[in-house]
Structure 1
Amino acid sequence: MPDIDKFFAAIKAGEIETVEAALQADPALANARGPQGLSALMMALYNQQPKIAEVIKAKAKDLDIFEASAAGNERRVITLLAGDPELAKAVSPDGFGALGLAAFFGHAGVMQILLKAGADPDAPSRNQMKVTPLHSAVANRDGACALKMAHLLLAHRAAVNVAQNGGWTPLQQAAAHGNIELVKLLLENGADRLAKADDGRTAATLARSGHHQAVAELLEKPA
């Protein structure tokens, strides 16, 4: 197995000592990319390896707009956009925009910078997931962070009833997580409480499945 393949395998497996040793032997691996263009840093972030991500980030040079957005590096994002404002609308090799990545990883500050630079709050990912930044924002497990990001996107007129792959709307995702404040915010902005996913489930159904009684009752009240 080539060194780069071993390096990426160690990242996915969470083997931080192996990653550190590999970077010690070959620092250039911090900027390595897999066969589909996915960087080492993004591999660590996608696989929920924050400690490894920090190790790689410390060694990596010149993060691109996607890495900087996913890692929450506001200074780097500002620098990149100053050189090329169109990067706010760029799409990564795996189909995600910088705004969606910032939302998914919970970086409201980066999102604000990207939106100011012209990022489209409604742009779906160009892959089979078809997620918008609002989908990514409400999916965040930190309820307060999800609420803050949703406020930001809705202030920029993000569409509230858009469906991702599987027919899931932001309201359904918020209900599944039991985030009642986020559910209230989405309803106040016109979210359709009766919308059904492809499997027929509504936001109320998802709330009840997750034992979020108060959310289910709120959704079942007459509009």
Structure 2
Amino acid sequence: MAGVGELIAAIKRRDVGALKLLLDREPALAGARAASGETPAIVAIYWRSAESLELLLARGAQLDVFEAAAAGRLERVRELLAARPDLVAARAPDGWTALHLAAHFRQLPVVDFLLHRGADVNARSENSHANTALHAAAAGGAARALVQRLVEASVQVDAKQGGGYTGLHEAASIGRADLVAVLLEAGASVESRTDEGRTPAELARANGHEGVAAMLASRHRDAAAERGRPS
């Protein structure tokens, strides 16, 4: 639809005034979809523009299951899955499941609901990331409770995404000691290496997270001692 690109650009600029003018001129843009598959709503969510999202909803945008999951709109997710239970395993145009999006955007109630409805906690995204909800959660800086919920759902803690990164690599690289602790308790390997040969401790140190690096290095030494060889 003509004009949707302009609308998306306004959202990315967080120019709510321009967004209002565009919607006044062409109200149908609120529910339009770009050639890429993006909707204004998902762009507002990705760009964390709550004001833009609320305006789009007020102007008639209807969230699909992926948008609702990412935005934490649990009742909308319930409504959509009640009508179409298969959506729990569906893929967004960019390859994510609703669980990936809820995990990345820190929406624990939605994550919990999707898991109860049978979402595959180890499903891989169908894009270049090829990751699980655990990678998505760690990269998004999720709360400890959300990562713990994924662990309780039997997420594969040492699963690797594109580039060879595990969830522990992701948590270490952003200095999240609480997430590192959860993953270590769940058995995540401190010795896992990325495709470039980097351990979680090395990524933590490279990003200035010395406390997390020390925590991981200590666990590495303990693991080496248990095997009876030098660390």
Deviation digits for residues 4-31 of structure 1 (CA, Å, limit 9, x no counterpart): 2211222222221111111122222111
Q: Do the aligned residues in 2 keep the contact of 1:138 with 1:147 (CA within 8 Å)?
A: no
Corresponding residue number in structure 2 for 1:28: 28
2:153 and 2:132 map into 1 onto residues whose CA distance is 13
1:41 and 1:74 map into 2 onto residues whose CA distance is 16
How far off is 1:200 after superposition? 1.4
1:173 aligns with 2:170: yes
Deviation digits for residues 142-182 of structure 1 (CA, Å, limit 9, x no counterpart): xxx43111111111101100111111110011111111121
The count of residues paired between Structure 1 and Structure 2 equals 220
- Length-normalised TM-score, structure 2: 0.90
Unaligned runs of 5+ in 1: none
* 1:133-172 mapped onto 2 (5 Å cutoff): 133-141=133-141, 145-172=142-169
2:188 and 2:90 map into 1 onto residues whose CA distance is 28
1:218 corresponds to which of 215, 220, 225: 215
Corresponding residue number in structure 2 for 1:9: 9
Corresponding residue number in structure 1 for 2:127: 127
Q: Do the aligned residues in 1 keep the contact of 2:41 with 2:61 (CA within 8 Å)?
A: no
> Partner of 2:123: helix, strand, or coil?
coil
Identity %: 40
Q: Do the aligned residues in 2 keep the contact of 1:140 with 1:146 (CA within 8 Å)?
A: no
Q: Do the aligned residues in 1 keep the contact of 2:45 with 2:67 (CA within 8 Å)?
A: no
1:79 and 1:185 map into 2 onto residues whose CA distance is 33
* 1:48-59 mapped onto 2 (5 Å cutoff): 48-59=48-59
How far off is 1:47 after superposition? 2.6
Code of the aligned partner of 2:106: G
Code of the aligned partner of 1:35: A
2:123 and 2:60 map into 1 onto residues whose CA distance is 29
> Partner of 1:79: helix, strand, or coil?
helix
1:209 aligns with 2:206: yes
How far off is 1:62 after superposition? 3.1
Code of the aligned partner of 1:187: L
Farther off after superposition, 41-50 or 191-200:
41-50
- Length-normalised TM-score, structure 1: 0.93
Code of the aligned partner of 2:93: P
Task: Flag as ranges the 4+ runs of structure 1 deviating above 3 A.
Answer: none
2:60 and 2:67 map into 1 onto residues whose CA distance is 10
Corresponding residue number in structure 1 for 2:38: 38
Corresponding residue number in structure 1 for 2:91: 91
1:60 and 1:137 map into 2 onto residues whose CA distance is 30
2:3 and 2:82 map into 1 onto residues whose CA distance is 36
Code of the aligned partner of 1:28: A
How far off is 1:82 after superposition? 1.0
How far off is 1:130 after superposition? 1.0
Superposed CA RMSD: 1.5
Unaligned runs of 5+ in 2: 224-231
1:80 aligns with 2:80: yes
